[in-house]
Amino acid sequence: MAKEKPVLLLIHGFPLDAGIWQAQRDALADLATVIAPDLRGFGASTLEVPAVLTMERFAEDLLQLLDERGVRKAVLCGLSMGGYVAMSFYERWPERVQGLLLCNTRSTADTEEGVEARKLTAKNAFDKGVDVIARGMLPELISARTKLERPELSAPLEAIMARQRADAVAAASLGMALRPDRTLLLRKVAVPTLVITGSADELMPLPTSEAMLQALPNGRLVVIPEVAHLSNLEAPEMFNGILREYLSALADA
């Protein structure tokens, strides 16, 4: 009997929405049932936004989504904040996770300085507007090579960020500041885990990915050259190739 395709749950970063997974949805549909939701408050989500959106809260929403769709187990692929959510999900419901893909993310908590920066972002979301935050973040998200070779990416990316709600941006920023260090959790991860990053990611420099790899009992690290923080968007063919290989190996296991 043919095996059922795995469910691939794509979890976007901050301050983004499921729009960033456009190049993955169709390209991976032959190997997996792809679900790419907008997290609470982002994109087209109509769920209520509390003052603080913790990673745990996002994970609870994803569990509910899987339950509603009758999905018993999923491969979680989280990028940046999406990675924080994926780790939080794994911590509580490891039995619902078939595999983990942690992209351009880290397992450590924020530094004190980082927490202050989150508070400022939350304030700025209301005081200055999300479009101002989007303009400020754009240069950090994609690499010099991507800017040169794919200049058409910048405007839609900025537009995705600028269309997010101020209350959700503020709440998620404050929520990220509360997340604990989950490096010890990684030691207990029992599913095949791929850490993916870009060699030019300054927001999550390579040592953060190497530290995650070290903690993982069954991990592998793939570094995409000259790509920064949004590896799936900057190098979709390479990113999809990595995911295809991972999903095929999972199907053969």
Torsion of CA 143, 181, 249, 69, to 10 degrees: -100
Binding-site size for ligand MLT (CB under 6 A) equals 6
The region, left, alpha or beta by phi > 0 then psi within -120 to 50, assigned to residue 100 is beta
Return the residue of 35, 130, 176, 189 that touches ligand MLT, per CB under 6 A: 176
CA separation for the pair 251, 245 (Å, rounded): 10
| Closest CA relative to residue 43, chosen from 72, 76, 21 | 21
Residues of this chain, 15-54, that bind ligand MLT according to CB under 6 A: none
- Closest approach, Cβ 74 to ligand MLT, in A, equals 20
Binder to ligand MLT among 17, 31, 59, 80 (CB under 6 A)? 80
Per-residue x/- marks for ligand MLT, 193-232, CB under 6 A? ----------x-----------------------------
6, 9, 10, 13: residue in contact with ligand MLT (rule CB under 6 A): 13
Residue 171 makes contact with ligand MLT by CB under 6 A: no
Q: Is 14 in the site for ligand MLT (CB under 6 A)?
A: yes
Dump the DSSP string for 35-80.
E-PPPTTSTT--S---S---HHHHHHHHHHHHHHTT-S-EEEEEET
Q: Cβ(160)–Cβ(20) under 8 Å?
A: yes
What is the contact surface with ligand MLT in residues (CB under 6 A)?
A: 13-14, 80-81, 176, 203
